Structure 1
Amino acid sequence: MDKKTEKYIINKLRTAGCVFAKDEARLLISEAQTLDKLLDMVEQRATGLPLEHIIGWADFCGIRIEVEQGVFVPRRRTEFLVQQTAALTTPESIIVDLCCGTGAVGVALAKTIGHIELYAADIDPASVRCARRNTTLIGGNVYEGDLYHPLPPILHNRVDILVANAPYVPTDSIELLPQEARKYETRLALDGGVDGLDIQKRIASEAPLWLALGGHLLIETSQKQALQTAKILAQSGLIPKVTHCVELDATVVIGTQISRVNTACKALT
């Protein structure tokens, strides 16, 4: 690729508002097989289509994760969710990834920990397709359906780790998100209801029925919502703990299952 063409692409991306125009230009150049394809990719990016949707993959925890257009792109902040989960997990653990999207969290956990027994679920068909492709090499079990509904009942009281990057954006705040998210990613992956906590409440309410004693539920949330998320976990009988990473601007709330009888009763009330 000649310098003139590269400079043209960088300037076009920069004019379109791409903060990392030079890095994006080089990535597009490396991915395009022909000049015509490259120029088409640049035009797509200039209109606001996420870079990951254009090239078909996202870098997450140093892993190339396949991403289809319309599917939620795994964010760097979610790497903190992986870090917190990995610290509580041992090889052979049974892990359930709810609202799994592309399956990035499960794949990153398998790379970090070693062999895990992974079950993942998402309600979005396109996300499920991506997750099945991404988890093939680690033997992941991916189900299409609403939260716990498609999971095999044999997992009741046996899950060591429940992990969820569930939608937590309040409905009225979706229009304030960057164009890449609000226009090109499925609303199912963003909309958490009026206060952003609807899906978290549903996950927490059933968690005690699936977790083993000593098991953990980890939920990514915002720093602003963290105390409310912790309260939701406590109301389901889990012992909550709030963790935050300044560098990634990421917050994870961890709930621990310490009592089978009490938590099960609370989950059903």
Structure 2
Amino acid sequence: MSSLRAAGCVFAEEEARLLLLAAAGPAELSGMVQRRVDGLPLEQVLGWAEFCGLRIAVDPGVFVPRRRTEFLVEQAASLAEPGSVVVDLCCGSGAVGAAVAARLPVELYAADVDPAAVRCARRNIADAGEVFEGDLYRPLPTGLCGRVEVLVVNAPYVPTGEVDLMPPEARLHEPQVALDGGADGLDIQRRVADEAPGWLVPGGHLLIETSRRQAPRTAELFERAGLLSQVVSCDELDGTVVVGTKPGA
């Protein structure tokens, strides 16, 4: 524990407990502690993250699901119904899609551009859905066009100039493609919103996690794409989600 505390781990006692439980023996424990001291995120050292009550596999180099994103899951699940077609875009480890599918039976599809994330997502989503590798909508089956009822997206939204201000755990050990949202942080959100109406059913919903500061601009992107928008926030989880609805239900 002293090594973790000296390295600046705020929750050193809890981290030490988790590492002790995960290690098969003293040699493995020593290696895990050293990786953590070297700055690797705890979740990547353990190989999993707790998210919405699930144990989500997280491999080295894969984006670690944040607790705030549990609010995105809550909002998506509240809008889905049993049998709904749900797409988890920019899925990363597949945490959001897996958590939604754990709450109710849905027809789940997920996609990410990062091969390492796709491998991870396939483990986490398993038989609950299908995971595709490619850029945004491109790898999705064309038969989903006009059929998606809930399109949930945790796209990168950190402006390029602010990535270097992030904690070392994130900027050094998580993929840049999962963090950098372009000059204004909205590059990926813009592309997602522009194409979303073609994939949604009338009355279908697009949900994107964003920051409180950026939420009004994200809502503008939705409106320009022809979606009705609403910003919802959760103080407890420090989460903000913009919900867009395709008119015509």
Bucket of the pairwise TM-score, normalised by the shorter protein: over 0.9
Q: Give the corresponding residue for 2:125.
A: 135
By how many angstroms is 1:228 displaced? 0.2
Task: Describe the SS at the equivalent of 2:136.
Answer: coil
Deviation at 1:55, TM superposition (A): 1.1
Measure how far apart 1:248 and its partner are: 1.0
The one-letter code of the counterpart of 2:54 is I
Aligned counterparts of 1:79 and 1:221: Cα–Cα separation in 2: 13
Q: CA RMSD in A?
A: 0.8
CA distance in 2, matches of 1:81, 1:134: 18
Aligned partner of residue 150 in structure 2, secondary structure: strand
The residue that corresponds to 1:38 in the other structure is 29
The alignment-based identity, stated in percent, is 60
**What amino acid sits opposite 1:215 in the alignment?**
G
Q: Distance in 2 between matches of 1:249 and 1:237?
A: 28
Partner SS state of residue 50, structure 2: strand
Where in structure 2 are the equivalents of 1:72-221 lying within 5 Å? 72-113=63-104, 115-138=105-128, 140-221=129-210
Deviations 1:17-50 (A, max 9, x none): 1010000000000000010110111111011100
Instruction: Measure how far apart 1:112 and its partner are.
Output: 1.2
Equivalent residue number for residue 254 of structure 1: 243
Residue pairs, 1:52-91, within 5 angstroms: 52-91=43-82
Deviations 1:96-126 (A, max 9, x none): 110000100011001112x110010000000
How many residues are paired up?
A: 249
Give the Å deviation of 1:259. 3.6
Distance across 2 between alignment mates of 1:40 and 1:194: 38
Q: Which runs of 4+ in 1 moved over 4 A?
A: none
Secondary structure at the residue paired with 2:79?
coil
SS at match of 1:135: helix
Deviations along 1:220-239, whole A, 9 cap, x unmatched?
A: 00000000000000000000
Amino acid at match of 2:100: L
**1:11 positional shift:** 1.4
1:245 alignment partner in structure 2:
234
Which residue identity does 2:53 align to in structure 1? Answer: G
In 1, the alpha carbon distance for the partners of 2:171 and 2:140 equals 29
Query: Match for residue 7 of structure 1?
Result: none
- Distance in 1 separating the partners of 2:24 and 2:143: 47
Give me the whole-angstrom Cα distance separating, in 1, the residues matched to 2:248 and 2:5: 55
Q: TM-score, normalised by structure 2?
A: 0.99
- The structure number with the bigger radius of gyration is 1
Query: Which amino acid in structure 1 is aligned with residue 122 of structure 2?
Result: R
Runs of 5+ consecutive residues of structure 1 not aligned to the other structure: 1-9, 261-269
Q: What amino acid maps onto 2:78 in structure 1? A: A
Letter in 2 for 1:127: A
Deviations, residues 160-198 of structure 1 (Å, cap 9, x unaligned)? 010000000000100000000000000000000000000
Equivalent in 34, 38, 55 of residue 47 of structure 1: 38
Query: Given the two structures, how large is their TM-score scaled by the length of structure 1?
Result: 0.91
Q: CA deviation at 1:12?
A: 1.1
Unaligned runs of 5+ in 2: none
